[in-house]
Amino acid sequence: MIYFDYNATAPVMREAREAWLDITEKTGGNPSSLHQAGTRAAVALAEAREKLAAYLGCQPADIIWTSGATEANNTVTHHFSKTLGPQDEVWISAIEHPCIHDSAKYYFGKRAKLIPVTHDGVVDLDWITTEMADKRPGLVGVMLANNETGVIQPWREILAMCQAYEVPFFTDAVQFIGKMPMAGLGDCDYISGAAHKFGGPRGVGFLKIPHRKSITPLLHGGKQEGGKRAGTENVAIIAAMMAALDVREKQIAHNQHLLRGVWRDNFEHELLRTLPGASIIGANAPRLWNTVSALMPDGDRKHQWIIRLDKAGFAVSTGSACTTGKEEPSHVLAAMGIKGEKAVRVVRFSAGWETTEADWEALVKGAAKVHAEMHSGKVHAVA
Ligand code: PLP
């Protein structure tokens, strides 16, 4: 099986598993306990926090460990629902992950405004410029890179606008961290991340908040995380997350050619050549080197592709894991104007650092074979 579903989750890497075991064996205590076993756990936790702060370019005290990005993102929307005035709006991009989209709607209703995107899936900067000249929202939230399309957002420009108008800027960095350099990211007020997208364990992530600011906790109880998030920290999976990030940071530093998306581009070129009628979503936008969102030829529904490619030895996806199983357009594609019959023809291929050039080549051959099969009259067998 060749795995092309890294945006859903990446396999847990050896270094992360080893770090988990090592910390589990060495630090049996609760990091809040004062005895030696507890102190050892607290030291390991502090080391992880310092490391992440250095990568992000922020202070260790600005980091809160969470159970993943869903919790981190909900913490932000929840916090602003408690601190903004009754008329204040929050503006989030129309392509945010459901854990932001739905929680913003839940907390703010109509006061959660969606920032439109272009046909290529890039946040409309003109919209922000025009609207901000008129009205200041209480929060702007735009992800760094979209999970379905891989389109990288102009976050530096949005951050600069937010800074000029003194509006807090929140970014979901889940699909970006571990794939792209993090330089400058620490200037964003709120940043969320999740270990399982970069080879760490599932069920752990973090939230970076502005320096010396507090946050309304989502979870109440103990005074862990400086009173910002109750619950005993899982030191071993946090250490495993940081071990994975260490590996990814080295890979990013030493693989510039991969960051340019050479293998992805070759794959797309071959895919379009072998599948007449196919096209690439967000083709004209800057995109992550690992992600291809392809609109498959007329009549080829995505679930047939996924099942047939699976049988052929390739794990691919329909897009966001949260919409899997539903033959309805994702809100991301809808925001890009890809609706109706077209939206059920989109298949996402997402590679990882472990993916080789040969894997990409095999995938395009596999896709050509499946396409031929689907059009040889056997199409209804796996519908
Ligand atoms: N944000 C983005 C962009 C994602 O892709 C995901 C996961 O699919 C999440 C948030 C949610 O992360 P987690 O699984 O850690 O809750």
| Interval 22-62: pLDDT, tens | 999 999 899 999 999 999 999 999 999 999 999 999 999 99
Nearest atom within ligand 1 for CA of residue 70: 16
**pLDDT reading at 302 higher than 80:** no
Lowest model confidence (mean pLDDT) among 1-5, 164-168, 273-277, 323-327: 323-327
Per-residue pLDDT band at 326 (split at 50, 70, 90): low
CA 72–ligand 1 middle distance (angstroms): 10
Average pLDDT value for residue range 257-268: 94
| Tens digits of residue pLDDT in 176-234 | 999 999 999 999 999 999 999 999 999 999 999 999 999 999 999 999 999 999 999 99
Question: What's the pLDDT score for residue 232?
Answer: 97
The pLDDT value given to residue 379: 46
pLDDT band at 380 (very low <50, low <70, confident <90, very high): very low
Evaluate: CB of 308 within 6 angstroms of ligand 1: no
Tell me what pLDDT residue 165 has.
97
Ligand 1 pocket member 70 (CB < 6 A)? yes
Ranking 38-47, 187-196, 244-253, 374-383 by mean pLDDT, the lowest is 374-383
Q: What is the pLDDT of residue 382?
A: 39
Question: Does 328 have pLDDT greater than 80?
Answer: no
Closest CA to 100 of 123, 120, 74, 130: 74
Kindly state if the Cβ of 95 falls inside 6 Å of ligand 1: no
Residue among 100, 45, 90, 115 at smallest CA distance from 69: 100
pLDDT for the residue 375: 84
**Rounded Cα distance, 86 and 62, in Å:** 27
Percent of the chain with pLDDT over 70: 95
- Residue 68 CA, ligand 1 centroid: distance in Å: 7
CA-closest residue to ligand 1 atom 12: 69
- pLDDT category, 325, cuts 50, 70, 90? low
Is residue 383 over pLDDT 60?
Answer: no
C-alpha radius of gyration, the chain, whole number: 21
Q: Residue 303's pLDDT is what?
A: 85
Position 319 pLDDT exceeds 90? no
Cβ–ligand 1 contact at 97 (below 6 Å): yes
Average pLDDT value for the chain: 94
Annotation says 322 is catalytic: yes
pLDDT band at 2 (very low <50, low <70, confident <90, very high): very high
| Residue 257, pLDDT above cutoff 50 | yes
309 CA to centre of ligand 1 in angstroms: 24
Sign of CA dihedral 356, 360, 365, 369: positive
Q: Which string of b and e fits 302-323 if b means at least 16 CB within 10 Å? A: bbbbbebbeebebbbbbbbeeb
Rounded to an integer, the average pLDDT of 318-343 is: 77
Find, among 44, 37, 31, the residue nearest to 231 by Cα. Answer: 31
Would the CB of 99 count as within 6 Å of ligand 1?
yes
Model pLDDT, residue 215: 97
Ligand 1 center–CA 205 separation, angstroms: 10
